[in-house]
Amino acid sequence: MANLTDLVNLNLSDCTDKIIVEYIWVGGSGIDLRSKARTVKGPITDASQLPKWNYDGSSTGQAPGEDSEVILYPQAIFKDPFRRGDNILVMCDCYTPQGEPIPTNKRHNAAKIFSNPDVVAEEPWYGIEQEYTLLQKDVSWPLGWPRITEIAGVVLSLDPKPIKGDWNGAGAHTNYSTKSMREPGGYEVIKKAIEKLGKKHAEHIAAYGEGNERRLTGRHETADINTFKWGVANRGASIRVGRDTEKDGKGYFEDRRPASNMDPYVVTSMIADTTLLWKGN
């Protein structure tokens, strides 16, 4: 374990102008993360400075063996908290060699929705409360991806209800507002948006995470999965509006339906699409 800690804390900044870039993408299950690293000349200040890369999609369930290359497009960079220095993590989405997004690339469609002028004008804000469960390490999952949890001897689960029992599941409550909602008179805009969400309840539930029916039971601060309702300060509702929002006549609301294993590209873009682009017919 000491050797692993030393490796995680390895700092190469004093001995080379090269940096390690960790390319990260969503794997074939839609919830697993994959990564591979390469060494480049640093520093890197923008994702556009990085080359596209490829990986064996047949090993991740994202391409057939006879045509296995999937192309990684760098989209955003962040400082690497593990290697430190100028080393970075780069978030990527995945495409075929012909430039088409693969089925698990949910970012591509989200980017189209968020670039729509009607959405851009409303400046949507999101705050996602992603819950999780820490389990003992003795589970059947390959060692290698947790990094921090493996040092602590635990495993992190994003299952919405990993163990049956009389306790809350794990959600990803998504707080949402638009420019019109944040301005005077915004409460009426919020109510109209919630009405739209109610009309598309089944469609949203289908995209809000796997196994969510085990969490959305109508108990443990949830609404029943088959029922849509909203309320002020009601944590047993599908959509909760805060008392301050009601009092101020403007603000935000909380969609309490998404599961902890939800895809943020899917959930955030779907909320924007339903509330801003869908005409409600």
Q: Give the CATH fold of the 2-104 domain.
A: Ubiquitin-like (UB roll) (3.10.20)
Tell me which residue of 281, 276, 279, 268 sits closest to 106, measured CA to CA: 268
pLDDT on residue 134: 78
- As a whole number, mean pLDDT of residues 63-83 equals 95
Mean pLDDT of 108-131: 97
Backbone angles phi, psi at 273, to 5 degrees: -60, -45
Which one is predicted more confidently, 8 or 188? 188
- Its pTM stands at 0.79
Q: Is the peptide bond before 264 cis (omega within 30 degrees of 0)?
A: no
**pLDDT surpassing 80 at residue 257:** yes
pLDDT band at 11 (very low <50, low <70, confident <90, very high): low
Q: Answer whether 2-104 and 113-277 agree in fold.
A: no
Choices 3.30.450.40, 3.30.590.10, 3.40.50.970, 3.40.640.10: CATH for 113-277 = 3.30.590.10
Report the DSSP pairing between strands 239-241 and 253-255. antiparallel
The domain segmentation of the chain, as residue ranges, is: 2-104, 113-277
pLDDT in tens, 189-212: 999 999 999 999 999 999 999 999
Mean pLDDT of the 248-257 span: 98
Query: Could you give the percent of the chain with pLDDT greater than 90?
Result: 77
CA–CA dist 123, 181 (Å, integer): 10
**Residue 214's CB: how many other CB atoms inside 10 A?**
15
pLDDT classification of 5: cutoffs 50, 70, 90 = low
